Amino acid sequence: MSMTQPFVDLGEIERARDAISGTVRMTPVNLSPSLTAHAGVPVHLKLEHTQLTGSFKLRGATNAVASLTGAEKRRGVVGVSTGNHGRGLAFAARAAGVKCIICMSRLVPQAKIDGIKAQGADVRIIGSSQDEAQLEVDRLVAEDGMTMIPPFDHRKIIAGQGTVALEVLEQVPDAATVLVPLSGGGLISGVAAALKASRPDVRVVGISMERGAAMHACLKAGKPVLVEELPTLADSLGGGIGLDNRLTFAMTRDLVDDVILVTEAEIAAAIRHAYWQERQIIEGSGSVGIAALLARKIESPGPVVAILSGGNIDMNQHHRIISGEDVDVTQEAA
Ligand SMILES: *Cc1c(COP(=O)(O)O)cnc(C)c1O
């Protein structure tokens, strides 16, 4: 579509790394002996759940806030995300001394509200739907001149998320395949742009859950389409990509080699594996790379890197999963 912007390039990602280095953590990589034995090639885990705020979203948010003009910074930023983007944005704004308001509906669970508040954002509870919360954001933008920072379809966000790949290139220079949890595609667009510019032979594989894999459906349709959101253990991967998508749809279509889907049972097995074998607490969305490896859905001629993208899981749910309970979220009311 003519609305598509030029792709985010390596230079923008390198500049993002400089812009965010004072706020974000460079996260470690662990070689997994058990997954290496299972896959027959070295498997490295990029521990991005150990990032401040518990996910990579802090990288993009920090870069987006750093890119604002002085006047924009004085007026502040707004968002609607109740999940990892909201946490990252709140933290990034506070670190930069910028006011941040996260708007959410009355239906958002208290634990999520507390998670955002704990990062220092002002939480505004508006109405009883995400749409009503969005209307309040639109008002704050129109009337108070605040800047809305979206979760993925934004150059500065994509460039910030791409800095994960700059670290991977240094930490695992012989990586042959990189597994990337995929929702709106901000992470995979940045990662693929960085990797393909330096090592075009590296395979970049997106992993989504079977239940509500929006980008996968859009790639099949050849354009952004509406996809029904369903309850899933990979709750950070839910939601659509936006019918007016400017960047992540085209970047994912053109730069990503493959997209693979995993089941709820495979995600639960991966959360268990991460805990008992790797000693890591990973949320469902962060574990989909491990899920695909355990299910033998990945073939790689050489070393694999799985990005463990986040760790913000409800600890009661985590406890039930690692204890071997059959946790089925698919029957919950949407
Ligand atoms: C947001 C998120 C993703 C997906 O990132 P996109 O840029 O939307 O594709 C994956 N894992 C976690 C933990 C996330 O919070």
Q: Give the whole-angstrom CA distance, residue 72 versus residue 146.
A: 7
104 has pLDDT over 90: no
Pocket probe mutation, ligand 1, options 58, 59, 84, max atoms within 8 Å of Cβ: 84
Report how far Cα 167 is from the mean position of its chain's Cα atoms.
16
Torsion of CA 48, 184, 12, 4, to 10 degrees: 170
- For residue 104, give the 3-state DSSP assignment: strand
CA 181 to ligand 1: nearest atom: 10
Over the stretch 259-271, which tens digit does the pLDDT of each residue have?
A: 999 999 999 999 9
Q: For the domain covering 58-148, report its CATH number.
A: 3.40.50.1100
Q: How many helices (H) and strands (E) does the chain have?
A: 14, 10
Over the stretch 196-255, which tens digit does the pLDDT of each residue have?
A: 999 999 999 999 999 999 999 999 999 999 999 889 999 999 989 999 999 999 999 999
Regarding the domain delimited by 10-55+154-332, which CATH topology (the fold level of the hierarchy) does it fall under?
A: Rossmann fold (3.40.50)
Q: What is the mean pLDDT of residues 20-34?
A: 97
Residue 2 pLDDT grade (very low, low, confident, very high; cuts 50, 70, 90): very low
DSSP string, 159-221: HHHHHHHHHHHHH-TT--EEEEE-SSSHHHHHHHHHHHHH-TTSEEEEEEESTT-HHHHHHHH
Which are the contacts of 275, defined by CB distance < 8 A and separation ≥ 6?
281, 282, 318, 322
For ligand 1, whether the C-beta of 183 sits within 6 Å is yes
For ligand 1, whether the C-beta of 84 sits within 6 Å is yes
333 has pLDDT over 60: no
Which are the contacts of 58, defined by CB distance < 8 A and separation ≥ 6?
23, 24, 51, 52, 87, 88, 91, 92
Please name the helix (run of DSSP H) or strand (run of DSSP E) that holds residue 29, with its range, or none. Answer: strand 29-31
For ligand 1, whether the C-beta of 309 sits within 6 Å is yes
For ligand 1, whether the C-beta of 103 sits within 6 Å is no
C-alpha distances (whole Å) from 9 to each of 103, 159, 319 are: 32, 8, 41
Residue 325 pLDDT grade (very low, low, confident, very high; cuts 50, 70, 90): confident
Q: What is the mean pLDDT of residues 290-296?
A: 98
Position 3 scores a pLDDT of 67
Tally of CA atoms within 13 A in the half-sphere of 277 that contains its CB: 19
* Terminal alpha carbon distance of the chain: 32
CA of 143 to the centre of ligand 1 (A): 30
Which are the contacts of 19, defined by CB distance < 8 A and separation ≥ 6?
62, 63, 66, 67, 160
How many other C-beta atoms lie within 10 A of the C-beta of residue 15?
A: 16
**Residue that wins the pLDDT comparison between 129 and 276:** 276
Residue reference for tokens 């749809």 = 249
Pocket probe mutation, ligand 1, options 82, 309, 313, max atoms within 8 Å of Cβ: 309
CA of 103 to the centre of ligand 1 (A): 20
Domains in the chain: boundaries: 10-55+154-332, 58-148
Average pLDDT, the chain: 95
332 has pLDDT over 70: no
Share of the chain above pLDDT 90, in %: 85
